[in-house]
Amino acid sequence: MKYDNTYAKLSVFGRQLLNKKSLTEGLPHISKYVKDVIGAQRCSIFINDNVKDELWTTIADGVDKIIIPRDKGIVGQTLKEKKPILVEDVSKNPHFLSNIDKETGYKTKNILTAPIFNSQRMIIGILEVLNKEDGFDNEDVKFMIFFAHYISGFLELANIYSQQDEG
Amino acid sequence: MRGDTEMGKSTQIAEFGKKLMAMGKVDNALELISKEAKELLRAQRCSIFIVDEQDEILWTKLSDGIGRIVISLDSGIAGETYKQKAPQIVNDPYKNKHFLKSIDQKSGFVTKNIITTPIYSSRRDIIGVIQLLNKSRGEFDEKDLEDLAFFANYISGTLELILMQQ
């Protein structure tokens, strides 16, 4: 199994993550790790904002905050179906938001997502990886499900922090 | 997460999380989780039951000094938690038909109230049940349940990883 070694070393990543005190610090750390482990070109973590009714993400590669309506895109579809989505060819998927590619100048080929649940079983975020050279496979999906669950405690705890900061 | 010590508590949980991730063995992890849960919920005892579906049992290594407890998957308040896939609050255990008096009799401990919640894997299977006994003041309530649900989810990823590697 190609992820055996990853699982064995995952706690090292986990401890680094728990040193990050906020989402702003933690999210890039998660993105970079997932990208490297899965072998995808990009990774975004979309945060589900119930109040503003939107999904937002910041991309480490310098593009500003991306905001999309909660019912749009593969990410919105993930939120709706409450399960991972693998899109092998985005050009054939009606939900794919091609205008984001146009805005960023990036060419998306394939996508894999997984919802991140909190302890109340609400979706607090969506993990998304883009462009794996040979395409995503079932092992990648399994890892994404496991990993989304693994980091959910950090995200929920970080949410408690940020609510305190704002309140 | 209560009142003005919120920030301190969150930091404490993160510190606990780091320690937990460093645990290689299930037994050590369960001990650490129990200790933290007791502090968080201010309860006298804590057991984490691990689900063994193959042998249809729930087992726990640590109930603070009374050794390993093995119960069948459908017995006790822990078994009820597994069966119903739902948290349980029992504030009058001796009047509850699911409560296992025999464990109290064996350990000499007197259970006054109980709170439990399932621990889920990433695939949404129940891998364990966390159970706390005897709140230091009053009875367990909805707020305790919320805290415990958060805590169970917080530890679940690490526990899943540890169990995978046994």
What element of type H or E holds B38?
helix B26-41
Q: Which of B21, B85, B120, B123 to mutate against chain A (most A CBs within 10 Å)?
A: B21
CB pairs under 8 A between A and B: 75
Band the pLDDT of A164: cuts 50, 70, 90: low
**Which CATH number goes with the domain that contains B156?**
3.30.450.40
Band the pLDDT of B3: cuts 50, 70, 90: very low
Band the pLDDT of A139: cuts 50, 70, 90: very high
Vertex B88: Cα angle to B31 and B135 (nearest 5): 60
Band the pLDDT of A13: cuts 50, 70, 90: very high
The chain A residue lying nearest B8, using CA atoms, is: A161
Of A15, A146, A157, the CB nearest to B22: A15
User: Is the Cβ pair A7, B161 closer than 8 Å?
Assistant: yes
Q: Which CATH class for the A4-166 domain? A: alpha beta
In this model, does residue A161 exceed pLDDT 80?
no
Alpha helices in chain A (DSSP H): 4-18, 23-38, 73-81, 98-104, 138-166
Q: What is the mean pLDDT of residues A11-36?
A: 90
Domain boundary assignment for chain A:
4-166
User: Is the Cβ pair B122, A148 closer than 8 Å?
Assistant: yes
Cα end-to-end distance, chain A, whole Å: 46
In this model, does residue A112 exceed pLDDT 60?
yes
Q: What is the pLDDT of residues B59-95, one digit of tens each?
A: 997 555 567 889 999 999 999 999 999 999 999 999 9
Q: What is the mean pLDDT of residues B33-46?
A: 94
Q: What total of structural domains would you count in chain B?
A: 1
Q: What is the mean pLDDT of residues B113-135?
A: 97
Mind telling me how many Å the CA of A59 is from chain B's nearest CA? 25
Of B123, B153, B165, the CB nearest to A152: B153
CA distances from B78 to A118, B104, B133, B145, B148 (A): 22, 14, 12, 15, 14
As for the ipTM of the complex, it is: 0.85
Band the pLDDT of B9: cuts 50, 70, 90: confident
Show the domain range for B72: 3-164
User: Is the Cβ pair A149, B156 closer than 8 Å?
Assistant: yes
Judge contact between A74 and A101, C-beta under 8 A.
no
Give the Cα separation of A78 and B57 in Å (integer): 36
Mind telling me how many Å the CA of A103 is from chain B's nearest CA? 35
What rounded mean pLDDT belongs to chain A?
Answer: 90
User: Is the Cβ pair B10, A160 closer than 8 Å?
Assistant: yes
Mind telling me how many Å the CA of B105 is from chain A's nearest CA? 34
Q: What is the pLDDT of residues A29-77, one digit of tens each?
A: 999 999 999 999 999 999 998 888 999 987 655 557 888 899 999 999 9
Q: What is the pTM of this model?
A: 0.89
Band the pLDDT of B123: cuts 50, 70, 90: very high
Judge contact between A73 and A97, C-beta under 8 A.
yes
